[in-house]
Amino acid sequence: MLHTVEEVEVAIVGAGPAGLTAAATLGSYGVATLVVDRRSATSRLPRATVASTGTMELLRRFGLEEAARARSLEVESQAWACATLAAAHEGEAVEVGLPSRAQAALVSPTAPAALAQDELEPVLEEHVSALPSVRIERGVELVALEHASDGAFLLVFAGPRAARRRVRARYLIGADGVRSSVRKHIGIPGDGVDNLAKRVAILFHAPLWQLAGEHRYLIYFLTGEPASRSLIPAGKHDRWVLGMPWDEDVRALEGIAPAQLEHWIRDAAGAADLPIEIERAMPVTFGIELAERFRDGNAFLIGDSAHRVTPRGGTGLNLAIRDGFDLGWKLAWVLNGWAGDSLLDSYELERRPVAEFNSERTSRDDGSLLGSATGLIADIGGRIPHVWLPGREGLVSTLDLVGEGLTVFTGPNWSGDLPLRPASLPVNVERLDALSAHALGLAATGQLLVRPDAHPLALSNAEISYARAASPPHSQSNAYDDDARGGVGGSSSPASAGDRPRASVGCSVG
């Protein structure tokens, strides 16, 4: 019999990038959070190899940008097409949906990084483990789930040596991958396609940078025969992945001799005498799937639990991380009494369009090819512009000034009132110079309300107020209308003469 019941505000099943990001966000608000994962350690495989602009902006927010850069590779955030790596000098750059360094400098205080998942996860886990309100437990698996009458969950976890215990969680987050146990327990179906393509990925070490020379890129599309091969830098110390089509049965890969694997690598590199150390060869099946819904009561799906995409374009990890942050701050606002439950509905409203776009993109054979402008829209579209401002210790980005509550950017002559809000909701006011205010669309007397994810809520310039809301046009609800403690998610309207806009936080960012 399991009599003792532990209580937490949020239980997260899965300590991959999505779960760790959600935990990091909840922990920054002091929310009591338990993270469990059946794995005994972080990933030992690169899996994904690129952190997008949006991901690096989040790591910057958490104070982890420097640590992440230390583990990443110095490469250009594009692909390079060439017959073999030895012929890199005859190749050309190809856009894959990420900005170049020069492009990134115009739109962000940071830039994408060649950062493999097995390098990123330890950085996130170390950070999360230091947060007082968060606990991570590994070697723990969800084995049963019951719904409580108040919407909470009674969870049964099996730990080391099959020991079982019960945990009561007000909210549950499934971040446990494509075969999510949370999704299975709460009964959310999905729609997708398996076996879009079959590939083999060979993880190895070899001095390939000597062949690439000055042409250092995120991925190398090999145009020679056989077709559809790629070489991907997957870590320091010359760690690489060779990806190539695989039409055989998965079990056939077990019979491939190491000498054959080495031959394939040398042929792709264009170097017959290349020294190689093989780690492993893995079959990879491409498929896509979208959960029918991302929310079921107080349970939520994030990352691969909500949407499976193929490796084309490197979007999966970055989608997962943005999911974790989006749901994390919204849950924290509700738990802290700063918003009502309707704010949580905006999680799927805002994340599903991005997941749908990337699912469709990565289902195509040419899914890796995408213009940088379109890629940036899917990654960071909707947030306020990045503008460098003078700070006490040098330049600071407008994105660096966005806080955990509301942030109000104002013009230099602003003298209005702060927005109506729950008394406990923190508000940070940043007065800008005239040129910086202009970059954010502000008049000298204007104000711009911004959410924790840097998405704008309302712009008020003199007598004219513009607000973005997720509610239908006919909705007449007030800004914090769900209950006495202030539910955020209704339509917006100026409080008086456009100076005090009541802004909806549940706005669609697509």
Alpha-carbon distances, residue 229 vs 49, 220, 367, 370 (angstroms):
17, 9, 15, 18
Both tokens assigned to 482: 């769900």
Residues whose CB falls within 8 Å of the CB of residue 52, separated by 6 or more in sequence, listed in order:
98, 112, 314, 315, 318, 375, 379
pLDDT at 214: 97
Give the chain's domains with CATH numbers: 5-63+117-191+288-365 (3.50.50.60), 388-502 (no CATH)
Alpha helices in 298-370 (DSSP H): 316-335, 342-363
Tell me whether strands 217-222 and 76-82 are parallel, antiparallel or unpaired: parallel
pLDDT digits over 448-497, tens only? 999 999 999 999 996 555 555 433 333 333 333 343 333 343 333 223 33
What is the mean pLDDT of the segment spanning 213-236? Answer: 97
Q: What is the pLDDT of residue 488?
A: 42
User: What local confidence, expressed as pLDDT, does residue 349 receive?
Assistant: 98
**What pLDDT was estimated at residue 3?**
63
Name the nearest CA neighbour of 255 among 235, 227, 283, 274. 283
Decide: 302 and 24 in contact? Cβ < 8 Å. Answer: no
Mean pLDDT of the chain: 90
Q: Which amino acid is at 70?
A: A
What pLDDT score does 476 carry?
30
Residue 377 clears pLDDT 70, i.e. is over it: yes
Summarize pLDDT for 122-136 with one digit per residue, the tens.
999 999 999 999 999
Task: Give the H or E element holding residue 212.
Answer: helix 209-212
Q: What pLDDT shows up at residue 491?
A: 30
**Rounded Cα–Cα distance for residues 14 and 71 (Å):** 23
- pLDDT at residue 340 above 60? yes
Q: Is the pLDDT of residue 508 over 80?
A: no
Segment 163-191, tens digit of pLDDT = 899 999 999 999 999 999 999 999 999 99
At 100-127, the pLDDT tens digits run: 999 999 999 999 999 999 999 999 999 9
Of all residues in the chain, the percent with pLDDT exceeding 70 is 90
Cβ contacts of residue 248 below 8 Å, gap of 6+?
A: none
Q: Which residue has the tokens 């950070």?
A: 127
Q: What is the dihedral of CA 409, 65, 111, 375, to 10 degrees?
A: -80
Q: How far apart are CA 404 and CA 183, in angstroms?
A: 29
- 417 pLDDT above the threshold of 50: yes
Q: Residue 310, class by beta-carbon neighbours within 10 Å (0-12 exposed, 13-18 middle, 19+ buried)?
A: buried
In the predicted model, what is the mean pLDDT of residues 146-150?
93
Tell me what pLDDT residue 466 has. 54
